[in-house]
Amino acid sequence: MTAVRGTAVDIPTRDGIADAYLVHPDDTDRHPAVLLYMDAFGLRPHLRGMADRLAAAGYTVLAPNVFYRHGRAPVVELPDFIDFAARPEIFQNIIPITQELTPERAMSDAGTYLEWLAACPQATDGPVGITGYCLGAGLALRTAGSYPDRVAAVAGFHGGNLATDAPDSPHTVAGQVTAELYFGHADQDHSLPPEQMERLDKALTEAGVRHRAEVYTGAQHGYTQADTVSYNAEAAERHWEALLELFGRTL
């Protein structure tokens, strides 16, 4: 496996300093840039490990703490293994934080992350790839619609509330997307019921967006996260295959 070099970085934004993790192959070359959007549990050892695996495949990966307005990661204290039933207070602490990350704030930050990557000496010039998990899938889709000239490919996994009835639902940016999209939905995910999957697919199809969505049978919301009770090893490996295939073709 390719050796990688990871480091903590601080990124100045309009609202403060976003702490982030940057990792790239341990060489002097420049590599295609990838923005990795975290799940609701945030930037933590497991997520850094996912960024490392992606970097080992030949990418320069930036994983920001999107909750930086509430402090440096970990914003919420987490156990080594996250079991929602045993620790319900974790969600109680996280939900208010997620609600304060409005689309306007998130997309202001997204522009800053993309500009930072464009200036990063370890990253190649040109459009980036984005992968997002849980709430990060929605952020990834919004970023593709907000910065179409900067994003070549987006993958979203076990994304929640991607196509709600809300006027600012993530799927409403479909008309501005030029990137190729891939979604790996969990079939046991209360945050993305079948009607939302259909609404998302319809919006992207009508907008002429190149996209593919697959439903991972037997997978729960959070199936890629090995430090949680929702982890599904088979689905997680399937996600890696889809992600690396997409980025291999587009980046």
What are the residue numbers of the active site? Answer: 134, 189, 221
> Which value, to the nearest 10 degrees, does the dihedral of the CA atoms of residues 207, 147, 127, 39 take?
-90
Q: Which two tokens stand for residue 39?
A: 């799940």
Q: What sign has the CA pseudo-torsion 94, 203, 198, 210?
A: negative
In angstroms, the CA 251 to CA 247 distance is: 5
What's the 3-state SS for 88-142?
CHHHHHHHHHHHHCCHHHHHHHHHHHHHHHHHCCCECCCCEEEEEECHHHHHHHH
Residues in the chain, how many?
A: 251
In angstroms, the CA 120 to CA 105 distance is: 23
